C-alpha cells in the first residue's frame, strides 16, 4: 500500500457524462514514518486494519461485532499460515499484506472500468476518460471560471492528461487494463514514479518555486487555526523536516528529496508493517505469532466499531 501511513490511497470520484462533476482530489500516498510510535488510542489502528485487510474490507469489518470480527480473523489467520505449522512469521505476514494491496488495486480498477470504457471495446481512450470525468466541465466552463482551488478542473484536466500519457506505454492514447491501473495507481508502478514525485510537489508547493519548504511541508498535514499553538506532533514533524527531509540542508526539499521522502529506496512498507504487527502482538517474544496471540490482540488487526452504535446488526457478510 504505500503511503505515509497510507495517507491517501488514490481516491477516484467517478463522474459520468452530463452529470455535474465532483472534483477528484487524489494524492499519491506516502510511505509511513515508522520511527515514531503510533498513538495508543484505537483510532491509531486504522492504518493497521487497511494494511492487513485492504481498505474496502476494513470498512466491512467496522460493521461487525467484536465476536464476528474475531471469528473471521481466525479464518484469515489459517490462510496466512502457509506451511500450516501453527505459527505466523514476519515473512508470511509480509506476503499477505502485499497480496492484500495488490488485490485492492486491481479490484478498484475493475470496479470503475465500466464507467470509463464507454464503447465497451475493453480499452479506455483518453477521450473516453476525459468525457466521463470532465464532460460537464467542458460543456459548462463558465460555471467554473471563479474556481481558484489548486485542484480546480482547469488544473486537473491537463494534469490527468499528462499522467495518462505517461501510463500509455505504446503511445496510442488508449489504456488497456494494466495501463489504466498504472494511471489510477501510479505509486505501484516503477515507470510512473516521476509522475508521483511531480504531482506531490505540485500539491504542496504553494508558492510555485519548485521546492517544498518547511512551512509548506507542515501545511500539507496541519492547518493552523486562529494562531493557536502547534501540537507536539507538529513540532516533531518540523524536526523530521530538518533532520531527515531536507538532506542538503538548504531549507527546502527538491525533487530528489521529495522522492526519497515518499518513496525511500531502502524502505519496504509491507515488511515494516509485518514487523510492527508481530512486535505488538508477540506475547512470548519468539518473533512469531500464534493464532491465539493474534486473536488476543484482534483489534489491532481488524477492529470493530459495532459497539459504538449497538450490537443489533443483522447484515450477512460473505467470508473474506
CA dist 195 to 163, 199, 259, 309, Å? Answer: 7, 6, 10, 42
Q: Residue 116: which domain range?
A: 4-211+254-306
In a domain, 317, yes or no: no
249 lies in some domain = no
Largest Cα–Cα separation, the chain: 65
**How many whole angstroms separate alpha carbon 122 and alpha carbon 109?**
13
In a domain, residue 157? The reply is yes
Q: CA quadruple 231, 237, 242, 243: dihedral positive or negative?
A: positive
Following CA atoms 192, 198, 199, 204 in sequence, which dihedral angle do they give, to the nearest 10 degrees? Answer: 150
How many of the other CB atoms lie within 10 Å of CB of 163?
Answer: 20
Question: Which pLDDT score is estimated for 44?
Answer: 60
The crossing angle, in degrees rounded to 10, of helices 46-53 and 55-62 is 120
Enumerate residues 6+ apart whose C-beta is below 8 A from 104: 1, 9, 54, 55, 56
- The pLDDT of residue 62 is 84
pLDDT in tens, the chain (320 residues): 333 332 233 333 333 333 444 444 454 443 333 333 343 444 468 878 888 888 888 888 888 888 999 999 999 999 999 999 999 999 999 999 999 888 889 989 999 999 999 999 999 999 999 999 999 999 988 888 877 765 688 889 999 999 999 999 999 999 999 999 999 999 989 999 999 999 999 999 999 999 999 999 999 988 877 667 889 999 999 999 999 999 999 999 999 999 999 988 878 888 999 999 999 999 999 999 999 999 999 989 986 544 332 222 223 333 34
State the CB neighbour count (10 A cutoff) for residue 179.
19
User: Alpha carbon of 296 to those of 70, 73, 272: distances in Å?
Assistant: 9, 11, 21
CB atoms within 10 A of CB 20: 10
Domain assignment present for 311: no
**Cβ pair 113, 312 in contact under 8 A:** no
Residue 115, preceding peptide bond in cis (omega within 30° of 0): no
Cα Rg, the chain, nearest whole Å: 22
Residue 198 lies in a domain: yes
Q: For the chain, what is the domain count?
A: 1
Amino acid at each position: 500500500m504505500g503511503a505515509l501511513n497510507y495517507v491517501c490511497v488514490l481516491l477516484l470520484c467517478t463522474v459520468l457524462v452530463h452529470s455535474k462533476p465532483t472534483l477528484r482530489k487524489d494524492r499519491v500516498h506516502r510511505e509511513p514514518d515508522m520511527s515514531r510510535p503510533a498513538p495508543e488510542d484505537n483510532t491509531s489502528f486504522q492504518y493497521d486494519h487497511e494494511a492487513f485487510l485492504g481498505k474496502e474490507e476494513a470498512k466491512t469489518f467496522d460493521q461487525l461485532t467484536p465476536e464476528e470480527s474475531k471469528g473471521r480473523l481466525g479464518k484469515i489467520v489459517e490462510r496466512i499460515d502457509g506451511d500450516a505449522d501453527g505459527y505466523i512469521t514476519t515473512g508470511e505476514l509480509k506476503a499477505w499484506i502485499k497480496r492484500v494491496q495488490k488485490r485492492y488495486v486491481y479490484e478498484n480498477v475493475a470496479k470503475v472500468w465500466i464507467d470509463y470504457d464507454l464503447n465497451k471495446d475493453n480499452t479506455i481512450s483518453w477521450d473516453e476518460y476525459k468525457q466521463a470525468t470532465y464532460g460537464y466541465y467542458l460543456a459548462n466552463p463558465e460555471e467554473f471560471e471563479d474556481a481558484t482551488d489548486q485542484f480546480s478542473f482547469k488544473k486537473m484536466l491537463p494534469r490527468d492528461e499528462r499522467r495518462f500519457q505517461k501510463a500509455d506505454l505504446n503511445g496510442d492514447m488508449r489504456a488497456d487494463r494494466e495501463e489504466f491501473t498504472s494511471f489510477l495507481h501510479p505509486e505501484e508502478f516503477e515507470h510512473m514514479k516521476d509522475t508521483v514525485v511531480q504531482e506531490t510537489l505540485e500539491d504542496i508547493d504553494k508558492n510555485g518555486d519548485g521546492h517544498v519548504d518547511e512551512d509548506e511541508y507542515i501545511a500539507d498535514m496541519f492547518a493552523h487555526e486562529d494562531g493557536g499553538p502547534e501540537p507536539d506532533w507538529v513540532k516533531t514533524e518540523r524536526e523530521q523536516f530538518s533532520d531527515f527531509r531536507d538532506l542538503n540542508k538548504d531549507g527546502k526539499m527538491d525533487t530528489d528529496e521529495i522522492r526519497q521522502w515518499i518513496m525511500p529506496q531502502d524502505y519496504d512498507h509491507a515488511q515494516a508493517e509485518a514487523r510492527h504487527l508481530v512486535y505488538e502482538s508477540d506475547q512470548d517474544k519468539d518473533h512469531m505469532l500464534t493464532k491465539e496471540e493474534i486473536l488476543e490482540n484482534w483489534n489491532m488487526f481488524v477492529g470493530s466499531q459495532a459497539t459504538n452504535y449497538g450490537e443489533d446488526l443483522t447484515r450477512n457478510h460473505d467470508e473474506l
